[in-house]
Structure 1
Amino acid sequence: MSQENGRAVTTGPGPGPVCAAAPAPACPGSGPEAGPGAGAGAVRRGRPRSEAADQAIFDAVVGLLESGVPLTDLSIEKIARTAGVGKATIYRRWAGKEELLIELLRSVEPPDPVLPGTSVRDDLVRLLESLRQRGLVKRTSALLHNVFSQMQSYPKLWEAYHHTVIEPRRRMGLDAIRRGMERGELRADLDVELVNDLFVGPLLLRTVIRPGAPLSPDLPEEIVDAVLEGLRPRA
């Protein structure tokens, strides 16, 4: 275990570094006081979270998945037993295994981008570069490949991941496009959702449908410039 940016990181065999205390927004109802049925307004109290316990729990999940345990068979009891902690230790951190898995995934994925807000082009290039980086990580992370390949058989986890991770990222792109329309950088007569799909679609195609397609560093700029050419306001 080593230290990176103040977080404990496991190195060695496995899916890659897994941060023990990822700076990811918690799911509703999570926190040390959260447990089964805890409300969204739960307040963090009591002793500070132990990074060693966090790491042991994350390592236990990764180990169980690598040993062939399906996501649907992964239980809090099994995770706690493997990590050498009590179930209450896990429930003080996450309301259930879906929240635990989402935080684990977020600790492996690149962080969400901060858009500069200087122009629609700058915002969209930054956003697409973030998607490109995630695509590269998914190609090299055994953990991400394992979990995402099982998502279809675990609708509850997919729904939680979509609500907690994907939807906020999508709203970020929609907001950037709306700002571009308001500033006159984009045609305002088009559907915002459609415009977002035009920008994001090529990268999703190369990361999901064609996972072996090139993800070159200049791809985000190429996509944004090509789409902007057809979306600039008409004279």
Structure 2
Amino acid sequence: PARHCGPASAHGPEPRRGRPRSAAAERAILDAVVELLEAGEPLARLSIERIARTAGVGKATIYRRWSDKEALFVDVLRAVEPSDPVVSGTAGLDDLRLMLEWVRTRGLAHRSSVFLHNVVAQMKSHPRLWAEYQRTVIAPRRAAMLEAVRRAVDAGELRDDLDTELMNDLFLGPVLMRTLHHPEAPLPDDLVDRLMHALLQGLAPKAQVAGGGPVTGPV
């Protein structure tokens, strides 16, 4: 989503004039936090007073929408990230593919944005903020992906004799490895399709699978 970047002075962005209301006020507050962070203000030093002044609203306007800074910052990160994928909620593998593709494109967005990279890095050094982000953003996304895996099992698209969380991790793990832990790894457009094909076909040699040979190691 587009972000408004106001003019910066020696003390950071100039505050907005007037007091916008409702949805406009919420947008002004989120934009104000982004502006301050882009101007180099660390998360730890951002106060509600400074955010309110920059947004041109009163502190009470902020507290009516967010209980504390942690909740506000999580919404800021949501606002600057790619929107969550729209899935059918009824399909199995098709929905799973859409969600994995979203993880891939999100990884590309983080690579191309120094701002996003810095904000996420700062969040990790604030335990309460990181825990709130995990609870309200990461956990629901994981739950949605697990539901897609379960729908795929019910539809006969995936095996029904394996733990669904294990299968979910098998699909998600390689994409997270490339986007989070191996940032120089390529993220080509066909990555998700190739990954899903490899997992669905199996990783054992074809001759071994055709001959019914044993697969060593725990499953």
Q: Distance in 1 between matches of 2:154 and 2:109?
A: 34
Give the aligned partner of residue 29 of structure 2: 57
CA–CA distance in structure 1, aligned partners of residues 29 and 89 of structure 2? 38
TM-score for both structures, normalised by structure 1? 0.73
Q: 1:70: Cα distance to partner?
A: 2.4
CA contact (8 A) 1:199 1:223 kept: yes
Matched, 1:105 2:105: no
* Residue 74 of structure 1, aligned match among 13, 35, 46: 46
2:65 is paired with a residue whose SS is: coil
Partner of 1:38: none
Q: Counterpart of 2:196? A: 224
Residue equivalent to 2:150: 178
Which amino acid counterpart does residue 10 of structure 1 have in structure 2? H
Spell out the pairing of 1:191-210 with structure 2 (5 A cutoff).
Answer: 191-210=163-182
Query: What is the CA deviation profile of residues 28-49 of structure 1, one whole-angstrom value per residue up to 9, with x for unaligned ones?
Result: xxxxxxxxxxxxxxxxxxx961
C-alpha displacement of 1:119: 4.9
Indicate if the aligned counterparts of 2:3 and 2:34 stay in contact, CA closer than 8 A.
no
Contact 2:43 2:122 in 1 (8 A): yes
RMSD of equivalent CA atoms: 2.8
CA shift, 1:214, in A, is 1.1
Say yes or no: does 1:10 pair with 2:26: no
Partner of 1:152: 124
**Structure 1 CA distance for aligned equivalents of residues 114 and 31 of structure 2:** 14
* CA-to-aligned-CA distance 1:55-100 (integer Å, 9 cap, x gap): 4322321232234332223221221233332111111221211121
- Any gaps of 5 or more consecutive residues in structure 1? 15-46
Cα distance in 1 for partners of 2:187, 2:6 equals 26
What secondary structure, in the 3-state scheme, does the structure 1 residue paired with 2:202 have? Answer: helix
Provide the rounded CA distance (Å) in 1 between the counterparts of 2:134 and 2:59: 26
Task: Report if the CA contact (8 A) 1:57-1:80 is conserved.
Answer: yes
State the Cα distance separating 1:118 from its structure 2 match: 6.7
Q: SS at 1:113's partner residue?
A: coil
Query: 1:124 pairs with 96, 100, 113, which one?
Result: 96
Query: Structure 1 residues 9 and 146 mapped into 2: Cα distance closer, same or farther (>3 Å)?
Result: closer
Contact 2:92 2:149 in 1 (8 A): yes
Residue identity over aligned pairs, in percent, reads 56
Structure 2 Cα separation of the partners of residues 124 and 55 of structure 1: 31
CA distance in 1, matches of 2:117, 2:87: 28
Query: Offset of 1:204 from its aligned partner?
Result: 0.4
Change (3 A) 1:62 1:48: closer
Q: Tell whether the 8 Å contact from 1:61 to 1:79 is kept in structure 2 after alignment.
A: yes
Amino acid at match of 2:154: E
Looking at structure 2, the residues matched to 175 and 122 of structure 1 have their Cα atoms a distance apart, in angstroms, of: 12
- TM-score by structure 2 length? 0.78
Higher helix share: 2
1:225 CA displacement: 1.1
